[in-house]
Amino acid sequence: MKKRVAILISGRGSNMEALIRAAQDHNYPATIELVISNKDSALGLQVANSYGIDTKTVIRKNFNSDQEFDDHISNILLQVQIDIICTAGYMKILTKKFVDEWMNKIINIHPSLLPSYKGLNTHRRALEDGARVTGCTTHIVRAELDSGPIIMQESVHIEKDDDEDTLAAKVLKLEHRIFPESLQKIASGKLIIKDNIVLEN
Ligand code: GRF
């Protein structure tokens, strides 16, 4: 049985598109059932629709609290019988209750080699530090920001003439590779999570 996946986005949605494209393969162990954006201006919504994927927009200001907002999203995901959630450029911190409800079922992509450079502006900070290597990480989501068992990482060398944009472009290419591969590994049950570590099953 294929796993039913929802993707949470806030913007461009290029990682979302990489997941949608991967899932078009008949042998891929997951189907993308729904894309939810917390911004009605997110370009990714149009991209998802162009692939015939259902989309919903849920706006924080229509709720009294982060908890009510996340509870609403959780209910939608339950109604659609979602098995796995991918956060792909989703610029909102998930509440602890939401993470607990979906424990070990949320996968995030982050543009750094975690645990270095959690949070925003990862490429700028790596350049400012004179780091020689950076990259991207997929991980299982825990309540603490950008933390949780690591699924995959890919690295890239930082060259002397790199700036924030060139670095972001190089890392994004890797993101588009490891996110679909990570979802594939999780959806097919090839990996298990023991304590805080992801292991081969
Ligand atoms: C990606 O670099 C992702 O790792 C980060 O935000 C960016 C989102 O890009 N969290 P996109 O919306 O997937 O194109």
**Nearest CA, atom 1, ligand 1:** 89
**Confidence at residue 190, expressed as pLDDT on a 0 to 100 scale:** 93
14 CA distance to ligand 1 middle (Å): 7
Q: Is 14 in the pocket of ligand 1 (CB under 6 A)?
A: yes
Place of tokens 């393969």: 25
Q: Is 7 in the pocket of ligand 1 (CB under 6 A)?
A: no
pLDDT digits over 107-157, tens only?
999 999 999 999 999 999 999 999 999 999 999 999 999 999 999 999 999
Closest by alpha carbon to 119, among 94, 90, 92, 146? 146
Q: What gap in Å lies between CA 79 and CA 110, rounded to an integer? A: 28
Mean pLDDT of 29-44: 98
pLDDT digits over 175-200, tens only?
999 999 999 999 999 999 998 999 99
Q: Is 29 in the pocket of ligand 1 (CB under 6 A)?
A: no
Q: Is 15 in the pocket of ligand 1 (CB under 6 A)?
A: yes
**Nearest CA, atom 5, ligand 1:** 89
In one-letter notation, the amino acid at residue 67 is Q
Q: What gap in Å lies between CA 12 and CA 82, rounded to an integer? A: 23
3-class SS letters over 19-57: HHHHHCCCCCCEEEEEEEECCCCCHHHHHHHHCCCEEEE
- The percentage of the chain sitting over the pLDDT mark of 70, rounded to a whole number, equals 100
- The percentage of the chain sitting over the pLDDT mark of 90, rounded to a whole number, equals 99
Judge: domain 3-200, CATH 3.40.50.170.
yes
Beta-ladder partners of 70: none
Ligand 1 atom showing the smallest separation from residue 91 Cα: 10
pLDDT band at 79 (very low <50, low <70, confident <90, very high): very high
Mean pLDDT of 86-95: 98
**Confidence at residue 37, expressed as pLDDT on a 0 to 100 scale:** 98
**Confidence at residue 86, expressed as pLDDT on a 0 to 100 scale:** 99
Q: Is 12 in the pocket of ligand 1 (CB under 6 A)?
A: yes
Ligand 1 atom showing the smallest separation from residue 11 Cα: 12
